[in-house]
Amino acid sequence: MVSGPGGVGKGTIVDALVARDPQLWLSRSWTTRAQRPGEPDDAYVFVSAEDFERRISEGGFLEWTEFLGNYYGTPRPDHLDRTPGPAGDARDDVTDFVLEIEVDGAQQVKHQFPEAILIFVLPPSREEQERRLRGRGDPDDKVHARLRKAEKEEPIGRDIADYLVVNDEFDRTVDEMMSIIDRERTRSGR
Ligand code: 5GP
């Protein structure tokens, strides 16, 4: 699991990890949040609150939470939307699921799967995080709400994380995360 405050660059990092390592497979979450301008259609499965709540009642989520007024959840693996990869993509290589989720969801997953590893990504500074959040084009009130939320999440993340990684320089961060994954694979005999 990769978690961390908004604006820390988690999305870009997990995309790079999955592109680099065919053993990794990125779970696509459901959300009731509106799609941002310029955000890819497959960033999430964008659904209504009714559809989300129906799926909750059917037990269709591995974990779900409410974050700043919207639902976010990881579909259970047997419902996972395994979007076909490029031609010749060896999906059978997949050994590890990557979940990019916030700390409440990470706690729920750790409860069910104690072997799950949480990497908590930190911004190099609050200023840099704020700059990245603004760069997405969110309105001021949303940026502030996310910064306040991040301040609450960070101590919990630090507490429950197996690894803390500072995203100071993108390529270095991805290398560090890859070596954490390799170390964990060796440790668990994969
Ligand atoms: P955003 O709106 O910025 O895409 O996501 C807001 C927060 O929700 C981020 O911290 C992101 O990691 C988290 N998130 C995304 N998908 C899920 C999910 O399926 N479950 C949980 N618990 N959090 C998620």
- pLDDT (tens digit per residue) in 119-146: 999 999 989 889 988 988 888 998 999 9
What pTM value is reported for the model? 0.92
- Residue 102: partners with Cβ closer than 8 Å, 6 or more residues away: 3, 65, 67, 72, 153
H helical segments located in the chain: 10-20, 49-57, 103-112, 126-135, 140-160, 170-187
- Measure the CA–CA gap between 145 and 141, rounded to whole angstroms: 6
pLDDT value of position 164: 98
Query: Is 33 close to ligand 1, i.e. is its CB under 6 Å away?
Result: yes
Look at the chain and report how many structural domains it folds into.
1
Under 8 Å between Cβ of 98 and 11: no
- Sign for the pseudo-dihedral over CA of 174, 178, 184, 190: positive
Per-residue model confidence as pLDDT tens digits over 39-96: 999 999 999 999 999 999 999 999 999 999 999 999 997 644 455 555 445 566 888 9
CA of 50 to the centre of ligand 1 (A): 19
Beta partners for 61? 75
Query: Is 32 close to ligand 1, i.e. is its CB under 6 Å away?
Result: no
Q: Which residue range forms the structural domain that includes residue 181? A: 2-188
Count of alpha carbons within 13 angstroms of residue 9, beta-carbon side? 21
Q: Give me the CATH number covering residue 163.
A: 3.40.50.300
Atom of ligand 1 nearest to the CA of 108: 22
Q: Where are the beta strands (DSSP E) in 44-103?
A: 45-46, 61-67, 70-75, 96-98
